[in-house]
Amino acid sequence: MIPDIIAKKREGLELTYEEIAAVVLGYLDGLVTEAQTAAWLMAVVLRGMSSREIADLTECMRLSGDQLDLSSVPGPHIDKHSTGGVGDKTSLVIVPLLAAAGATVIKMSGRGLSFTGGTADKLEAIPGFQTEMDIEQMLEQAERIGACMATQSKRLVPADKALYALRDVTATVPSIPLIASSIMSKKLAAGSETIILDVKTGIGSFMPTLDEARKLAKTLIRIGRGSGRAMGALITDMNQPLGSTVGIALEVAEAIETLTPGGKKDERFYSLCLTLCAHSLRQAKQVQSVEEGEALARNIIESGAALEKFREIIIAQHGDPKVIENPSLLPKAPIKHTVMAEKEGYIAKLNARTIGQASLTLGAGRTFLDAPVAQEVGLEIHKQIGDKVKPGDPLITIHARNNSDVKPVITAIQSAYEFSPSPTTPPPLIYEVFAD
């Protein structure tokens, strides 16, 4: 039967729910071989799926494990997901910010892969912070303080975890049906009524073109609305890194600074955090407009309430809250080297993928799912697109474990920047918004 299902999809024909479940649940239960599942995944990549097939695949994976029942937890229940990028640390700001605004946020976070960072890795840079929680612990903490940030429970959507690991080693990751069903099966199983999506586009994302990002956003929204969720999606820029840091501990420190009243804030990163929070609150009918939501979010940060909520999350998950006042307690690299500008001009490009690969070279990313990562290394970005520079101005400071890692990263950084003799304009932060 399984070979017939593979052949049917190979020929571009539509599969039934039962046929999809036979492959997905069969692989999870050990009844379908890895080779057969890999063949089926490749057929999906090459032939695609109809909207109904994607919805069926999402539902099949969602039902492969437990569901979070949030009925005992005060609402509104809001979930947020980013498709990943270089320097994307928005969850570290948005989760405590939304919780401080009165929402309940149960954020199941992943680990970084390749040049994209994972929220779970970043949280674990905080001494003692525990990201592994069972469902009962998640619900108890969410009811008590309004938020938790944990890795995906083994009981939630186990089919997705099994398929993702196989996709990673079979070159079947870049497929909108597979990406969309993976994302939404987890979001739907997590139980929130409101889901906000940050779909990245550009050279430093999995959706390099606006058209691809738009297709993914529409697919995700269609799945969520079909399951009765209030959905919103923003297509945001990932042609240059987001914020002023790339690397695990460095990004945590930047997030803390962003949450600190009067703290130093990268304007693009801060603006995106406020906007995502505002859209989340509007979708959940907590504010009447995005403008009202942005003003509320800004006031919550400047009052100190969002930072205090992050402290509560850290304490609840056994982390050291002293990092709030003293980010130097985070892991630090022993070697620092600053790359300087060699000519005068305006920065026209800062290639996010090249910067991401440079951080991977330093050890801040992983090339396979369970590989260790170096929490202390990364890049501190001083100049971004649109900035004017002259010879000797700092471009990027490298944080490395040893001197031998520095030279190839210098070369990468120099190739990531392009300069113009005339003033340049950064790319738009937000390209499109889809909202209920």
Give residue 137's Cα distance to chain centre: 23
Judging by DSSP bridges, how do beta strands 394-400 and 378-381 pair with one another?
Answer: antiparallel
Q: Under a CB-based contact definition with an 8 Å cutoff, are residues 318 and 118 in contact?
A: no
DSSP letters spanning 43-88: HHHHH---HHHHHHHHHHHHTTS-----TTS-S-BEEEEE---TT-
Three-state SS for 147?
strand
* Alpha-carbon torsion (189, 190, 194, 195), positive or negative: negative
In one-letter notation, the amino acid at residue 393 is D
C-alpha distances out from residue 202 to 210, 222, 235, Å: 7, 23, 10
Q: Which residue(s) pair with 303 in the sheet? A: none
422 noted as active-site residue = no
332 noted as active-site residue = no
Q: Which two tokens stand for residue 273?
A: 């955090």
Three-state SS for 8?
helix
Residue 233 belongs to what H/E stretch? strand 230-237
Q: Under a CB-based contact definition with an 8 Å cutoff, are residues 327 and 367 in contact?
A: no
107 noted as active-site residue = no
Active-site residue, selected from the candidate residues 77, 111, 167, 353: 167
Active-site residue, selected from the candidate residues 160, 198, 237, 405: 160
- DSSP label at residue 338: E
167 noted as active-site residue = yes
Residue 42 belongs to what H/E stretch? helix 34-47
- What is the rounded CA–CA span in Å between residue 24 and residue 38? 11
- What is the rounded CA–CA span in Å between residue 108 and residue 118? 11
Q: Which residue(s) pair with 397 in the sheet? A: 338, 380
Three-state SS for 149?
strand
Active-site residue, selected from the candidate residues 182, 205, 280, 359: 182
Active-site residue, selected from the candidate residues 186, 265, 279, 282: 186
Query: In the chain, what is the straight-line distance between the N-terminal and C-terminal CA atoms, in Å?
Result: 41
CB atoms within 10 A of CB 87: 30
81 noted as active-site residue = yes
In one-letter notation, the amino acid at residue 198 is D
- What is the rounded CA–CA span in Å between residue 416 and residue 407? 15
CA 11, 7, 54 angle in degrees (round to 5)? 70
Query: 295: burial class by Cβ within 10 Å (0-12, 13-18, 19+)?
Result: middle
- Active centre residues (catalytic): 81, 160, 167, 182, 186
